[in-house]
Amino acid sequence: MSKTTKGAEYTLPDAPSDGISTVRFSPTEPGRLLATSWDTTLRLYDVERPALLGKYETSAAVLDACYMGSNPKRVFSVGLDPAVRGWDLETRTQVTLGSHEGPVRCVRYSDLHGVAVTGSWDKTVGIWDPRSTAVQPVGRIDVGSGGSGDNDGSATVIAAWAKSDPAPGSVTDPVTQYGRYMQPERIFSLDIVGHIAVVAMAERHIYLYDLRNMKETLQRRESSLKYMTRCVSCMPNGKGYVCSSIEGRIAVEFIDPDPAVQANKYAFKCHRRQAEGVDVVYPVNALAFHPTYGTFASGGSDGMVYTWDGANKKRLRSYPRHPSSVSSLDFNCNGSLLAVASSYTFDEGEKDHPEDAIYIHPIGPEEAKPKKVESKA
């Protein structure tokens, strides 16, 4: 299905041929969307036309990607091979920032500090400087065909990344502790807000770091949820984060360790349904905050997407069930669109499943607003 009616959901053409791991909107261009896949590609879409603008191939399944902060032309990707890659979407070039010792599950970029932060199944968090002259050029990528070319212009590629301008408002004394930091378990998800990195791991570990001092853990926590963490996402206001588990639950957490603040944390059930009198529970795979209102969306293996008002503990809306698991979702930079990856996540093992697809949901002006809570007399 292609785009048909203004205001109605639609799917993007040329979807990945294997599982979709991430959908990520541009930080400044509301109609540009990046998607990563187990088919070893990154794909760039214009969701307004809609059309595939470019396809970039790597040597292994791509598990995550992010933009270089507010720079819409550069992205980072990680996957089943240990390399941390940087891509210039404009010049069609690729560099390697460094490597882990195992598959890399997640990547985020700190505009404030000018570093890429990665989490790997090798039990380390990596801090990488994309402006370092130590980055290695891979070559020029043929956008659209996915083929890689020769390495002509390697010196130019390195110089271009090394002289990247710092983001407006970035700290004058950026992170200098580059490298990899050992964690107690495999990293499943991470997110960044301000100076804080929230790292979710196996065995329900959640560690908080201050990016200005990676040598010390700011806080060591155990997830409020009883089962394996699937996703973590930070509140835009920097006060906390939400995390989800494989047992159909979401926890709303706060960063300030003050007991009075911690008393406000809570968890709730979601992504469940009744089948023959039995409560069937689904993993909550994806979380994303609305950039304007601070409300958030969740996506589960039940194919459902819900929006939530975390401050008032209210569900705002449910969307029609998608054909397969929701593996990832993201709001665009002005909050007018929600991208949803409908892609089987193999929770029930190998089986026939619907084709992978990327849905675009237009978000109405009142759709993601928090609930008004009437004051008690």
> What is the distance between the alpha carbons of residues 96 and 120, in angstroms, rounded to a whole number?
16
Q: What pairing do the DSSP bridges indicate for beta strands 205-210 and 196-201?
A: antiparallel
Give CATH 2.130.10.10 domain extents, the chain: 23-182, 223-365
pLDDT at 141: 37
Cα–Cα distances in angstroms (integers) from residue 247 to residues 188, 190, 229, 269, 282, in the given order: 16, 19, 9, 8, 6
23-182: in CATH 2.130.10.10:
yes
Half-sphere exposure of 330 (CA within 13 A, CB side): 24
pTM (predicted TM-score): 0.89
Residue 134 CB coordination number (10 Å): 13
229-234 β-sheet, strand order = 229-234, 240-245, 249-254, 266-269
Residue from 32, 26, 60, 65 nearest 46 by CA:
32
Class of 223-365 in CATH: mainly beta
The tokens of 40 are what? 């070893």
Sorted by sequence, the CB contacts under 8 Å of residue 47 that are 6+ apart come out as: 12, 31, 32, 33, 337, 339, 360
Bridge partners, residue 317, by sequence: 307
pLDDT in tens, the chain (377 residues): 334 334 689 999 999 999 999 999 999 999 999 999 999 999 999 999 999 999 999 999 999 999 998 899 999 999 999 999 999 998 888 999 999 999 999 999 999 999 999 999 999 999 998 887 556 555 433 333 333 333 344 444 444 555 555 544 444 344 446 889 999 999 999 999 999 999 999 999 999 999 999 999 999 999 999 999 999 999 999 999 999 999 999 999 999 999 999 999 999 999 999 888 888 999 999 999 999 999 999 999 999 999 999 999 999 999 999 999 999 999 999 999 999 999 999 877 787 788 999 999 999 988 999 987 655 54
pLDDT at 350: 80
pLDDT at 131: 81
Q: What pairing do the DSSP bridges indicate for beta strands 83-88 and 71-79?
A: antiparallel
Q: Residue 123 in contact with residue 187, Cβ under 8 Å?
A: yes
Exposed, middle or buried: residue 92 (CB in 10 Å: 0-12, 13-18, 19+)?
Answer: middle
pLDDT at 3: 43
